[in-house]
Amino acid sequence: MKITSIKDLDAIRQASFSRLYAPNGVKVNVGMASCGIAAGAQASYNLALKEFSTKSGVSISQTGCIGFCEMEPLVEIVAQGKPRMMYHHLTEDKIVEAINGYLAADYHKKWILGQMRDPRNLLEDDIANPQAKVQPIEGFPFLEDIPFYAKQTKVALRNCGYMDPDSIEEYIARKGYYAFMQALTMKPADIIKTIKVSGLRGRGGGGFPTGIKWETCAKHPGERYIICNADEGDPGAYMDRSILEGDPHSVLEGMLIAALAIGANYGFIYVRNEYPLAVKRLITAIKDAEKAGLLGDNIAGTEFSFHIKISRGAGAFVCGESTALMSSLEGKVGRPRAKYVHTVEKGLRDGPSNLNNVETYANVPPIILKGGNWYASMGTANSKGTKVFSLVGKVINTGLVEVPMGINLKDIVFDIGGGIPRKKEFKAVQTGGPSGGCIPARLMDLPVDYQKLAEVGSIMGSGGMIVMDRDTCMVDLARYFLDFLKEESCGQCNPCREGIKQMLDILTNICQGNGKEGDIELLEELGVMIQRFSLCGLGTSAPNPVLTTILYFRDEYEAHIRDKKCPAGVCKPLFHYEIDPETCTGCHSCAKKCPQEAITGDKKKPHQLDQTKCIKCGICYDTCKFDAIVIR
């Protein structure tokens, strides 16, 4: 059926309502994003399907990622008139029992994360909460109240984990494509004005105001292109993957609205090759949208035509840079060029090209429906709305979180993230990927927005947030990022190609115990040079991880160079493990795990470690529950 009006959308929405909110019988929604599948969701799904496909009254469905990755596989079980229960760690061995329990209203408390108070997204305020009349079960917290979710506001992630990403009907049921229908009746200038009022800035890293970008692109004549950057290259960031896997239509809708505003007929999505599931879901979404007449020629019966093509990247970090990405889209080597002429004027195929990131496009439909002022009411003076962060590393609750701009780092790490595992000392947060910086524990009250992060030497970047504890060596971390960037530098300009290599050599020396006086100053000098003279963003931001760690953790650099010690116990030549006889209880668990049989001792008596046998693998250090293995 071709959709041509809001009435058509309404009809689909009504028809799909029960499927989402009041299913016949029991519906099991298994979280099937890449991370869920890796944690065992596929096996749970297959088993549930096998076990219940012949029994009437139970249907098994898939959803995207609901964000709480630490708790995967996450499975939601729902039925009309019953609470919506979210189960965590629901692996193959538990799923059948959990479903049978739910059928018998005998809920497994240990496996349940919480019951959902309200499954609607922020656009569905025209219908009543489907759970309003359901009596909540006592003793189970509401999902929305548990610390991980309590401070979140879901705009870009509004559908991730709440619907089947392969179903256009469910997307429409959650008010999808309504914004596009509305945009069809608006003048392009008014769409751009709404985006400008919203204050939305590029979520890929640059933070350029989206409305201004659209406006400039629309002014240039020629065949214009809408491009979506899904080449999420920052290690530690996976919000774009999650949106593409959990809610691909929101990105298509955002691109459609951009095409209307800018006047473009062709769109491209450049996806990393490492995300096969995202590509698969996008292909399905595009086909379904074409079938529904929402993509292709004469969309919704109008003159407007828009075609989207998916291009897969092939593993090059530099292709996240706009000019390199466009060169790669043309089937060429992805080398950036100097931007004397911006891509909004001459980009892909020399046409005016508008490039936005996945998350930016996903934010567009709600802004159109609820207005620019609504979006601008969230956030800080220079950073409006919400931002998705991937909270990873040494933190208890790893996952994807969407919070209003301006929330402080402490709230993210400790309230949402639940703090550091094993109560270890919190050291720093790294934001912005290899182009970003490290923010030390003492600046934890910092409100997170574009400007504040820049002030402390980091950047927002795409939203990776890597938490580090006392066991992370900051010198090694800086070395790690430079090693990454040395591999990924396209090699075109001298400062980046040679400069990064020189900095890396110095850092490697320091980590191996061969650092010398003057190295820190040389690193600083080289860093400033690379920042100033590199051609593209990769080079100009490459020294950030080094410069910020020198700024905030200079003492660690000095310990490596002067005392030849690695206080965190990472750089192997610069430390050794010892057993503290005072704290060792003689539990013997370290000795059992030591691959070198270097630890000996009688039970319940302090153990000894043979330094000649020790390979510093760290297994004993991780195993000891009493902190008796110490770094010297």
Partner 1 sequence: MNSSVSEASLELDYRELDRIIEEDYQNDKENLIMILQAIQKTYNYLPKPAISYLAVKIGVPVSQIYGVATFYSTFSLEPRGRNIISICLGTACHVRGGDRIHETLVDQLQVHDGQTTSDNRFTLESVRCIGCCSLGPVIKVNEDMHGHVKTDEIKTILGRYE
Contact 353, 326 (CB under 8 A): yes
Shortest Cβ distance from residue 318 to partner 1 (Å)?
9
By CB under 8 A, is residue 619 in contact with partner 1? Answer: yes
Q: Which of 155, 477, 520, 598 binds partner 1 (CB under 8 A)?
A: 477
Query: Cβ 118 to partner 1, closest distance in Å?
Result: 25
405 neighbors 512 (Cβ within 8 angstroms): no
Residues β-bridged to residue 225: 266, 353
Q: Decide if 121 contacts 156 (C-beta within 8 A).
A: no
Q: Smallest gap, in angstroms, from Cβ of residue 394 to partner 1?
A: 6
Angle between helices 248-262 and 188-198 (to 10 degrees): 120
Whether cis (ω within 30° of 0) applies to the bond prior to 73 is yes
Closest CA to 365 of 219, 125, 153, 158: 158
Provide the minimum distance between the beta carbon of 207 and partner 1 in the complex, in angstroms, as a whole number: 21
Does 472 bind partner 1 (CB under 8 A)? Our answer is yes
Burial of 153 from C-beta contacts in 10 A (0-12 / 13-18 / 19+): middle
Q: Is 229 in the site for partner 1 (CB under 8 A)?
A: no
Does the protein bind partner 1 through residue 35 (CB under 8 A)?
yes
Q: Which is nearer to partner 1, 218 or 468 (CB)?
A: 468
DSSP label at residue 416: I
- Out of 55, 332, 554, 604, the residue judged to bind partner 1 by CB under 8 A: 332
Site string for partner 1, 373-412 (x = CB under 8 A): -----------------x-xxx---xx-------------
Q: Which of 24, 25, 38, 516 binds partner 1 (CB under 8 A)?
A: 38
Stretch that binds partner 1, among 21-29, 159-167, 461-469, 605-613 (CB under 8 A): 461-469
Identify residues 234-293 at the interface with partner 1 (CB under 8 A): 234-238, 241, 273-276
Is residue 79 a contact residue for partner 1 (CB under 8 A)?
no
Per-residue x/- track, 287-326, partner 1 (CB under 8 A): ------------------------xxxxxxx---------
The dihedral through the CA atoms of 528, 529, 530, 533 has a sign that is positive
The CA angle 134-138-144, to the nearest 5 degrees, is 70
Alpha helices in 489-518 (DSSP H): 494-511
- A 10 A CB-CB count for 611 gives 11
**Contact call for residue 343 and partner 1 (CB under 8 A):** no
CA dihedral 75, 79, 85, 87 (to 10 degrees): -20
The smaller minimum CB distance to partner 1, of residues 8 and 476, is found at: 476
> How far, CA to CA in Å, does 179 sit from each of 174, 260, 295, 368, 384?
12, 12, 15, 6, 20
Binding mask 576-615 for partner 1 (x = CB under 8 A): -----------------x-x--------------------
Residue of the chain from 189, 333, 341, 528 that contacts partner 1 (CB under 8 A): 333
Compute CA 184 distance to the chain's CA centroid, rounded to the nearest angstrom.
Answer: 31
Q: Which of 148, 165, 232 is nearest to 401 (CA)?
A: 148
Query: How many chain residues touch partner 1 (CB under 8 A)?
Result: 59
353 binds partner 1 (CB under 8 A): no
Give the whole-angstrom CA distance, residue 113 versus residue 147: 11
User: Is residue 72 at the binding interface for partner 1, with CB under 8 A as the rule?
Assistant: yes
CB of 353 to partner 1, least distance (A): 14
- By CB under 8 A, name the binding residues for partner 1: 34-35, 37-39, 69-70, 72, 232-238, 241, 273-276, 311-317, 328-334, 390, 392-394, 398-399, 430, 433, 464, 466, 468, 472, 477, 480-481, 484, 487-488, 490, 593, 595, 617-619, 622
